[in-house]
Structure 1
């Protein structure tokens, strides 16, 4: 008995150290995961461990199976102590922990889906705006130099005021686009960060984890119909001769209600799957609508990217052709081409990055 108590104390200390290490590892995970795992560990702890019992009382010695050497039915003190272990508790405890893990994975996927839903059609816009801003940061100083040069030409009578105003309007358009880009980047910075994985993958993970939660719940319901108990320990009748004051027994019990559980669990599993699809306020409906909208926008922006790329190539060709010409009218046309090309390059950079980001987010491979 003393050895058994000592081993129990050591096991408890070891469990405490393991629990502390587990808490340190879980400090960086989502709070919901720490919560469900903690609840799962607490519920499974009493199922995985054996039960220690002890009782002291007085029994009829005849009922205790002894009549020789004493009067039949005489009161006899009795001490019982031992261990009781239900092997189905081990099975249920492990199922509870697996269910907690599935609930954590379900929460992670659900959080990613909700973050994407809050961002909506702005998915991929952050990187696209950064690409546009980079092009504008390069183009605006050059455009400012062109405007300053044209002002000098106006003062010298080599250019008209109308030409100056036209160039000023084009430069104002580029500056307004830069301001709008900076404003949009600030707005998007306040929204949840986009996920690094395709949205369709997160949706599949969410449905798979939800199905595992229901599967583990069904396992627990079915396991409650079984009981496999091993019970043994010390059993002594005081002042009664006994050769070996020990006892042991194995009990197996089965509840016939388990025969009807498989069909009921199947209905529950199918009902839960349909609930995810039918819930108009659920994440599945919201993400499905977002996917349709993003795919439609993706196709339209791909078409626009092809058009803009053709225009950029054409203007670059025109600009190369007139670089060697030095007449005033050619210079005015060159300035126009430079500013228009800067605008189109900014749009091209935005579209190229946006299409690539949307393709990655939607899980569609693009060449």
Structure 2
């Protein structure tokens, strides 16, 4: 009877809270969506690596034939069974490689999951991806223009009471002001909804993130193949105390070095290469996989970028024209000209808000598409 005892304990703890500043002034803590997964795979790998890296303590006790114990020659009678005690340490040096590889694979799995979580968050947002900075720019532009618009409407009401303005003029200006208020309200609601969703890091390149995911995924498979190949080898040393009771022994100690090789290793190389290539294809082509969905999203974002570049050119031209008209109008002092000036100011406020949104959104889209110029 043989009883083998192996002991190893490793504990790892990591805590962190990511703080995200909200534009409204509120700051809330956001946890890393990959934190729990990384802690699990790291803990699992350390538990498995502990058994690979630590030596084995063994002990056995049983009965052996006395003749065999004394050499087993023809001149030695077999005799009665004798009690035998063996105890010692054993170590498999291949376990050093397996333990290190297990930990490396856990880190690769963590990087893979972190990239996957970011990719899935991007897929969830879809074509709304990158709107956070754009909405912030629009909100800032509206915050600067709305007070002046409110003042214009208030002044026009006073002029209406004094007979200096008509009801139609007041209604026209109020309607434009209402459009600005609605745009500001919609902007804040959109920002609030986006704040509930996972956000990519600022300046994140979706293509680079996709490459990081595929690289980490490939490394996981490569390290798994290395572990499979390592199972074919064994280089172990064992030594300790070995005594047969009631038998004279000069030195009741023993030592043994063992090298083992499984011939199945000769066929593993091609099988591991097939598994690695198959995993690459599976990851790249899976219908419901994040990589395929992100590639489709990248195409949609490029279409959005092209459309918004055209719209930004149009809006910028309109803003320049209206600013030029406003400079000309402000030189005149007639009542009709002042009304036209009010209309121009409110329309200019709307166009500048759209211009700010498009400019910020295009900048974010170019970063996501990897098209930002140095």
Measured in 2, the distance between the counterparts of 1:236 and 1:27 equals 55
Does residue 21 of structure 2 align to residue 54 of structure 1? no
Partner of 2:27: none
2:274 aligns with: 267
Whether 1:92 aligns to 2:101 is no
Q: Which residue pairs with 1:159 in the alignment? A: 165
Distance 2:171 2:244 in 1: 113
Match of 2:177 among 171, 176, 183: 171
The reply on whether 1:359 has 2:371 as its aligned counterpart is no
Helix, strand or coil at the partner of 1:85: strand
Counterpart Cα distance in 2 of 1:193 and 1:279: 24
| Pair 1:298-2:305 in alignment | yes
Match of 2:234 among 221, 227, 232: 227
Give, in whole Å, the separation in 2 of the partners of 1:72 and 1:250.
Answer: 31
Summarize the Cα distance change of 1:67–1:150 in structure 2 as closer, same or farther, 3 Å threshold.
closer
**Displacement, 1:362?**
2.4
How far did 1:323 drift?
1.7
CA–CA distance in structure 1, aligned partners of residues 254 and 15 of structure 2: 43
- Per-residue deviation, 1:62: 2.6
Cα distance in 2 for partners of 1:60, 1:158 equals 125
Q: Is 1:245 matched with 2:245? A: no
Deviation, structure 1 residue 71: 5.2
**How big is the shift at 1:26?**
5.3
Hey, what's the Cα distance between the residues in 1 that align with 2:200 and 2:84?
Answer: 69
2:47 to 42, 45, 50: 42
- How far the C-alpha of 1:303 sits from its partner, in A, is 1.9
- Structure 1 position 264, deviation (Å): 0.6
Q: Structure 2: which 5+ runs fail to align?
A: 1-6, 18-31
Residue in 1 aligned with 2:130? 124
Which residue of structure 2 lines up, in the alignment, with residue 76 of structure 1? 82
SS across alignment from 1:63: helix
Equivalent position SS for 1:77: strand
Paired with 2:66 and 2:201, the residues of 1 have a C-alpha distance of 73
Whether the aligned pair in 1 keeps the contact of 2:233 and 2:261 (CA below 8 Å) is yes
| Paired positions, count | 349
> Residue 125 and residue 67 in structure 1: after superposition, are their counterparts in 2 closer, same or farther (change >3 A)?
closer
Distance in 1 (CA, whole Å) between partners of 2:52 and 2:296 is 44
Contact 2:70 2:76 in 1 (8 A): no
- Structure 1 residue 215 corresponds to structure 2 residue 222: yes
User: Separation in 1 of the partners of 2:114 and 2:72?
Assistant: 67
Unaligned runs of 5+ in 1: 1-11
Q: Cα 1:135–1:223, aligned 2, differ >3 Å: closer, same or farther?
A: same
Native 8 Å contact 1:106 1:205 kept in 2: yes
> Is residue 116–residue 195 contact of structure 1 (8 Å, CA) maintained in 2?
no
TM-superposed CA distance for 1:181, in Å, is 1.2
> Paired residue for 2:321, among 302, 314, 333?
314
Which residue is equivalent to 1:330?
Answer: 337
1:225-249 deviation line (CA, Å, top 9, x unaligned): 1111111111222233322222111
4+ long deviations beyond 6 Å = none
1:350 and 2:357 matched: yes
- Residue 207 of structure 2 corresponds to 200
Please give the TM-score of this superposition, normalised by the length of structure 1. 0.89
Equivalent residue of 1:324, what SS?
A: coil
Q: What is the CA-CA distance between 1:254 and the residue it aligns to?
A: 1.0
CA drift of 1:322 comes to 2.3
The CA deviation at 1:222 is: 0.7
Over the aligned positions, Cα root-mean-square deviation in angstroms equals 2.1
Residues 123-174 of structure 1: CA distance to partner in whole angstroms, max 9, x if unpaired?
1212211211111122122112212222333344433332222222211211
In the TM superposition, residue 354 of structure 1 has moved relative to its aligned partner by: 0.9
Report SS of the residue matched to 1:78. Answer: strand
Question: Deviation per CA, 1:242-292, whole angstroms, max 9, x where unpaired?
Answer: 222221111111111111111011110010000012211111111111111
Whichever structure has more helix as a proportion of its residues is 1
Equivalent pair of 2:70/2:247 in contact (CA under 8 Å): no
